[in-house]
Structure 1
Amino acid sequence: MFPKLLFITLFLIIVCGTLNISTLELKITDAKLDYLNGNYIDKNTYAAGLIDVNSTYARLPLFWEVLTSFPMDATLETRIVRYNSPQDKRGSSFNVKIEICNIHGRLYQYLPPFLIDLTKAGQCVQPGNYSFYDAGQLQFNKFLSSRDLDGAYRFNTINYIASPSTYIKKIEIASKPV
């Protein structure tokens, strides 16, 4: 029993060390809505404002009325920009595109929590009134390597919910490592 346990422990240490899994945690510091498509979301019901909870956590409550079902080919397209210092103006960027209506899709589990809640039944976002205590953000810190994340001063993400035929929402989110 002991040799088997030792082997499994060593195997996990080697695999996790090889993968360079980051343990970086992020705190949202700003969120700015840039665009809402009025055919999909009632602009009069949309409300999202950042609430600073403590030094390591801020939540992003979201209230909105979805008027029309999102297309089954809707995606979350995100540009992640990493800045190394307050003086860094350009940063380095990564792009990711995730199908939001395909629960078996690549990286689906890293979508913002509100999108997972809206699609976990295997459907795309349906009409209705929705309220989220914390909409969250794309959990890129869980799938990018530590080489891409460690030592960063801050991150900005530009997030589009879109399909090939239309844009539904655009929001920019800033976050800092904690």
Structure 2
Amino acid sequence: MNYSVRRLTRDDVDAYRAIRLEALTNHPEAFASSAEDFVLRSIPDLEGLLEKLVFLGAVLPGGELAGIMAYDRGQKREAHRGWLLQVYVKPAMRSTGCAKALLDAVIAHAQAEVLQLHLSVASHNEPALRLYQRAGFVIYGTDPRFQRVNGRFVDEHLMVRFFDKAPGKTEND
């Protein structure tokens, strides 16, 4: 499938709202936010979020979002760190290179600002773990029972990629 990767703006708020709600509804165990809380957020609030964070989207020729990833830079003493957030790719776009293209774009943006990029991912999400590990991220910890969704505990792996070291190297290597 054909798509392009670009930064989202406040003009993309409706498309962002639709894909984020899909992600939260269909994969509640993958996110700390819930669909029930998300639908309560106002359009101006979501426009503000799109301006505050760096949101990248995989956009299909018709303008529909096929995937999103957000990046946030730390502040003050954490200004050397960035965070990968709100990762979601529609099922039809999985295994097409879409997630890798989005991740590559986030990494390129982050490398110009920070020394390391962090993320958290559900420990059972093997496809995401493989994607992140191929991109040079390493697990540096696991948060057991990070959340409870539909009566089931979900552990989260904490991962990091250092830009000032070779991919896959940790502080102790």
Hey, which of these two has a bigger chunk of strand by percent? 1
TM normalised by structure 1 equals 0.28
Larger radius of gyration: 1
TM normalised by structure 2 equals 0.29
